[in-house]
Amino acid sequence: MDNNSKKQFGFNESSSQYIPKPNSVSTGELIDSPKFQKNTLLESFNSPEMVKMREDLAKAHQDSIDKSVGWYYNLSSEEKYKAVEALCHIICKAEREGTSHRGLQSILGLYPEAFWIDDLMTVHNALYTEFQEQDSRNWKDMKTLTKLAQDSDSDDKNLL
């Protein structure tokens, strides 16, 4: 028998062939490149192009709000009443049920477009907090009422 026939499969093979070779990430090559220098991301956010883009976005947002408010004030009294009544009913009902901000947008039929209505989040947070506190007060009252009912039952038994 020759030496090759005695070797087991894979035995005596160079194990270094299975060790992964260092890549550019582990050697720090990419980190040292000018593309990945410290503050590059921050600098790009403050670049003139990004500053202009943020200003344009803020202006478009304000224009949208102004148009919506203008539209509302151009409605007749009856239409304003119906719009406010409907929104108040829909929003308060959803918040009483404990909906999320995204759920509120869906209930209003405006998801995902309503994501950009920042005051909707303000309304949601305020009402959510109010209804959660109200629910908490109701549960505390319920415990008090239950205790009073139990106390009155024991008083009635003492009278007999």
For the chain, give every domain's residue range: 23-74, 76-139
Q: pLDDT value at position 73?
A: 93
> What is the predicted pLDDT for the residue at 114?
79
10-47 residue pLDDT tens: 555 555 555 555 555 555 555 555 555 555 666 777 78
As a 3-state breakdown, the chain gives helix, strand, coil percent values, each rounded to 5, of 80, 0, 20
Q: How confident is the model at residue 142 (pLDDT cuts 50, 70, 90)?
A: low
> Alpha-carbon distance 136 to 128, whole Å?
12
Overall size of the chain counted in residues: 160
**What's CA 138's distance to the chain center, in Å?**
28
CB-side exposure of 99: number of CA atoms within 13 Å? Answer: 19
Q: For residues 105 and 68, what is the distance between their CA atoms, to the nearest angstrom? A: 17
Buried b (16+ CB within 10 A) or exposed e, 122-146: ebbeebbeebeeeeeeeeeeeeeee
- What pLDDT, on the 0 to 100 scale, is given for residue 80? 93
Distance CA 124, CA 100 (A): 8
Give the pLDDT confidence score for residue 41 in this predicted structure.
67
Which pLDDT does position 72 carry in this prediction?
Answer: 92
What is this structure's pTM? 0.51
- Looking at residue 112, its pLDDT comes to 82
Each residue of 41-82: pLDDT tens digit?
667 777 888 888 889 988 988 998 899 999 999 999 999 999
Please state, in angstroms and rounded to a whole number, the distance separating the CA atoms of residues 81 and 52: 40
pLDDT value for 18: 52
CB atoms within 10 A of CB 103: 15
Q: Please give the DSSP secondary-structure letter assigned to residue 51.
A: H
